Amino acid sequence: MGGIGSGSYPRNDKAPEIERTRCLDVRFLRKNNLLKPGTSGTLRWSCKDDLLSQLHYHVGRDGIHVQHQDHAGAWKSTQQTIRFDYTPCHFGGARCWFLCPGCSRRVAVLSDSGQGFLCRHCLGLVHRTSSQGKRDRLFSQKHKLGEQIFEDYERGEGRLKKRGMHWRTFKQQLAKYRQLEQRLYGSSHFK
């Protein structure tokens, strides 16, 4: 009894996952210099060259005004203003956050609710990893680490160190990768 993956079974009553929603991420906007007051533009979500949704935005000093057009049979449009909040950083400057229009919680990501953007708490969304079993989480960790350290990582295998990675870092990460393999497959895999 017990062991990896015990007690988990496929369920249909899982909470919706945040990774399956259209999200507005303040970190993405900051990284692409889209948070400067006066900035305007359009963000698009598409699948296989089919436009699913688009967001027209205008950034002000205290927030961002968005007009979201969603294609669910027919195009529908919603408008919303999302306020900003700032926290000081240890070495100067400030970090920008969204204030959720539903609960005023400080968040980095807001998800499309169909009526506007709200935080995952208001929408009852969970992260994909929280609904995975132990074995699936180990596989996810192994593959994520493999993609980070191997240049030629494919189908769970890799041999070449990523360019630019120090050998010391590579050896430390490779030891973690092997530990994950050991936990997944046991000692018989390495004989």
Per-residue model confidence as pLDDT tens for the chain (191 residues): 455 555 555 454 556 666 667 788 899 999 999 989 999 998 887 777 777 778 889 999 899 998 888 766 566 778 889 999 999 999 989 999 999 999 999 999 888 777 788 888 888 777 666 666 778 778 888 888 888 899 888 877 888 888 899 999 999 999 999 898 888 887 544 44
Helix, strand or coil, per DSSP, at residue 70: strand
Task: Please tell me whether residues 51 and 109 are part of one structural domain.
Answer: yes
Helix (H) or strand (E) holding 132: none
State the pLDDT at residue 20: 65
Q: How many domains does the chain have?
A: 2
Instruction: For residues 137 and 116, state if they share a domain.
Output: no
Greatest CA separation for the chain: 62
Which residue segment(s) compose the domain that 76 sits in?
21-121
pTM of the model as a whole:
0.61
According to DSSP, residue 74 is labeled E
Q: Domain boundary residue among 75, 102, 121?
A: 121
Place of tokens 């393999």: 181
Specify the pLDDT at position 172.
93
What is the pLDDT at residue 22? 78
Question: CB–CB of 83/99 below 8 Å?
Answer: yes
Q: Based on the domain organization, do 117 and 31 belong to the same domain?
A: yes
Residue pair 111/123 in contact (Cβ under 8 Å)? The answer is: yes
